[in-house]
Structure 1
Amino acid sequence: MVSSSHEAMHKIFTHDPAAFARAFHVLGLPFPDPVAVEQISVDLTETAPVERRADTILRIATEDDAFLLVVEAQSTQDPPRIAAWSYYVTFLHNKYDLPVVLVVVCHDKETATWASRTMSVSYRRWTTFRLSPLVLGPHNVPAITDPAEAEADLPLAALSAITHAREPEIGEILEAIVAAFRRRGASEETEFYAELVEQGISHTEAAKLWRDKMATDLSFFRSESAQRLRAQGREEGLEQGREQGLALGVQRALLTVLTGRGIELSAAQRTLLTETTDLDQLNAWLAQALTANSADELFG
């Protein structure tokens, strides 16, 4: 028995699955007659939790209304992302009952062209769902190569560097940003955008160029580039590997402990210490240095 008008509106297709073909013919839609129909479960509940995370979601209010802005970073063409973006948009629209705008930020023109296409879920000439992202890339974000422009608008300058990371003009853009940082001086804002640019271009060849340019002025930046370069100045052997840097740190700690306890080293003992790079041995000496009464006892 059909129990309600709601069920009546869809049960006809369960009773006679081919009915949809005749209905579509009435509407003049170009769907072919089915040769096989299978009814699948109507339960769309996800039985296992599936973690899905957009890159950034913002609720933006205007004088007239409000909407949600989903920002996705895309460095390569990745067709499976289309399904994820579609899910984000429909889920957020259902959850917040607000319009949703999807923005995709791209590193290169090829990816931007791919992401700019209208993406749809359709059958033949009938579209059920259409997704139209707004795309930011080197094709529409200006290349900020003037230091004055970069200083006046650091967010746009940073976006310019990120979207032009694989373009020929990236060197000029980074030069302009470094010059803008010098003009503005030390501040949380300049440090933030230094980190942002570094992270935004980290997977491109421009990353090394950025680190080289940052090396010209390290007085007020605490970005990863600055930290690495300062560490290279303090730890001469950093380029030979992380373990040598750790060994150097333990050597210095050991010398500090011995000096603080008034224990002097002979030239041979100092040479032995500085030439030892085995971390287990150095850490053992460091532990013993807290109680040793002489250098001979420690190194004997």
Structure 2
Amino acid sequence: MVSSPHEAMHRIFAQDPGLFARAMRPYGLDIAEPVSCTPLPTDVTTVEPLERRIDTVLRLTDPDGSDYLLVVEAQSSEDAGKQFSWPYYLGYLYAKHGVPPVLLVVCNKASTAAWAREPIRIGLAKRPTLTLEPLVIGPHNTAIVNSPEQAAQDIAITVLSAILHRDDEACPAILEALSKALHDLESVDEEQARCYTELTAQGLGKGRAGDIWRNLVAHDLSFFTSPLSEEIRDEGRAEGRAKGKAELIIQLLEHRGLQISPDDRARVTGCTDLGTLDTWFTRAITAATTRDVFTDEDRDEGLQS
């Protein structure tokens, strides 16, 4: 089932470990794509009664055999507590694994990204003992991928582009390009295509961009049997049943020669609650007038449905 956008912003790096290296190249960091990846526990709780969890931790191996830990944190807003928890996370992981950690902060707002880029300095103001400078990805430095050809070249980057630009005017074009690329991917690797479809839905969340993606999944990606596509199909079936029941109520009232006002007709055809429609249908069988079909409460529910 689709959950919060926060999850998708860090889970995508576990889905495609090479995404980190590719996402950093446009900004002057020549990082080799890993030859292996091992997900690590995200729990960094100590014996103290205080639970601490990182979003995603991956142990990546470079082609030359050297390892590092990719620590991915998803941020949708500023959090003053991170100036304390992020240094703790990195210190804990470095001490536990003996492998250098790299902090990547993924933000879906430019203002949050600007905040996350600020160095965290620990020690004397003029001579800090420790300086932490996170790598940051956000809408400000993530390319807009809006052609199917570009999307097909790197679908993970396109998913990230859609998630981080979900509030931009460019988002519909990104989603359309992504849906076409995923349609082609399905014939090669259906499981990968399904996973990216779900991650995109998760990252977009509720709202305009999420609605656009659901519409594309329902039509352009209708071949999927993923949780999202099944949810959309279930909704469609429920809407179809409601429409059919509403038509039966109208036909029954007309067959019995009862006058139906435009408001009552609109109330029936606009209702999507099957329970309410069942009640109206039962009343319509014996009602002396259409007014007898609806109570005041029914009228309110019908308008809200």
Q: Does 1:193 align with 2:192?
A: no
Partner secondary structure for residue 78 of structure 1: coil
Counterpart CA distance in 2 for 1:240 and 1:122 is: 64
Equivalent residue of 2:202, what SS?
helix
**Cα pair distance change 1:181/1:211, threshold 3 Å:** same
- Deviation (angstroms), 1:162: 1.6
Provide the C-alpha distance between the structure 1 equivalents of 2:201 and 2:143, rounded to a whole number of angstroms. Answer: 19
- Any conservation in 2 of the 1:76–1:111 contact (CA below 8 Å)? yes
Rounded to whole Å, the distance in 1 between the matches of 2:208 and 2:75 is 16
1:91 aligns with: 92
Q: How does 1:233-252 map to 2 (within 5 A)?
A: 233-236=236-239, 237=242
* 1:155 Cα deviation after fit: 0.9
Aligned to 2:25: none
Q: Which runs of 5+ in 1 are unaligned?
A: 1-44, 252-266, 273-300
TM-score, normalised via structure 2 length? 0.60
Q: Are 1:50 and 2:71 matched, yes or no?
A: no
C-alpha displacement at 1:80, in angstroms? 1.4
Alignment partner, residue 104 of structure 2: 103
Change (3 A) 1:229 1:203: closer
> The residue matched to 1:139 in structure 2 has which SS?
coil
Q: Distance in 2 between matches of 1:127 and 1:185?
A: 52
**Shift in Å at residue 48 of structure 1?**
3.6
CA distance in 1, matches of 2:212, 2:121: 39
Q: What is residue 214 of structure 1 aligned with on the other side?
A: 217
* 1:52-71 deviation per Cα after TM superposition (whole angstroms, max 9, x unaligned): 11111011112142111101
Count of residue correspondences: 208
* Structure 2 CA distance for partners of 1:120 and 1:59, relative to 1, 3 Å: same
Aligned partners of 1:73 and 1:151: how far apart in 2? Answer: 25
RMSD over aligned Cα atoms: 3.1
- Secondary structure of the residue that 1:68 maps to in structure 2? strand
The separation in 2 between residues aligned to 1:224 and 1:137, in whole angstroms, is 28
State the match for 1:292 in structure 2: none
1:13-92 alignment to 2 at 5 Å? 48-62=48-62, 63-92=64-93
2:121 aligned partner, one-letter code: S
Match of 1:232 in 2: 235
Return the letter of the residue paired with 1:51. E
| Residue identity opposite 1:217 in structure 2 | D
What whole-Å deviation, never above 9, does each CA across 1:83-132 have from its counterpart, x for those lacking one? 22111101001111111100011112111111111112233323122111
User: Measured at CA, do residues 221 and 240 of structure 1 come closer, stay the same or move farther in structure 2, by a change above 3 Å?
Assistant: farther
After TM superposition, give the deviation of residue 140 of structure 1 in Å: 2.0
Deviates more, 1:90-99 or 1:175-184: 175-184
Match of 1:130 in 2: 131
Q: Would you say the 8 A contact 1:57–1:68 is kept in 2?
A: yes
1:178 and 2:163 are equivalent in the alignment? no
2:219 match: secondary structure: coil
1:235 partner SS: helix
2:171 and 2:105 mapped to 1: Cα distance? Answer: 20
Q: CA deviation at 1:205?
A: 4.4
Q: Gaps spanning 5+ residues in structure 2: where?
A: 1-44, 244-269, 287-305
Match of 1:147 in 2: 148
CA contact (8 A) 1:69 1:101 kept: yes
Distance 1:212 1:71 in 2: 30
Inter-CA distance 213–160: structure 2 relative to 1 (3 Å threshold): same
Q: Secondary structure of the equivalent of 1:215? A: helix
Contact 1:147 1:177 in 2 (8 A): yes
Residues 1:173 and 1:218: Cα distance change in structure 2 (over 3 Å): closer
Q: Is the 8 A contact 1:165 1:204 kept in 2?
A: no
Residue identity over aligned pairs, in percent, reads 36
In 2, the alpha carbon distance for the partners of 1:203 and 1:99 equals 37
After superposition, the Cα gap between the structure-2 partners of 1:225 and 1:120, relative to the gap in structure 1 and judged at 3 Å, is same
Q: 1:104 to 1:151 in 2, by over 3 A?
A: same
Instruction: Tell me the distance in 1 between the aligned counterparts of 2:97 and 2:79.
Output: 28
TM-score, normalised to structure 1, is 0.61
Secondary structure (helix, strand or coil) at the match of 1:141 reads: coil
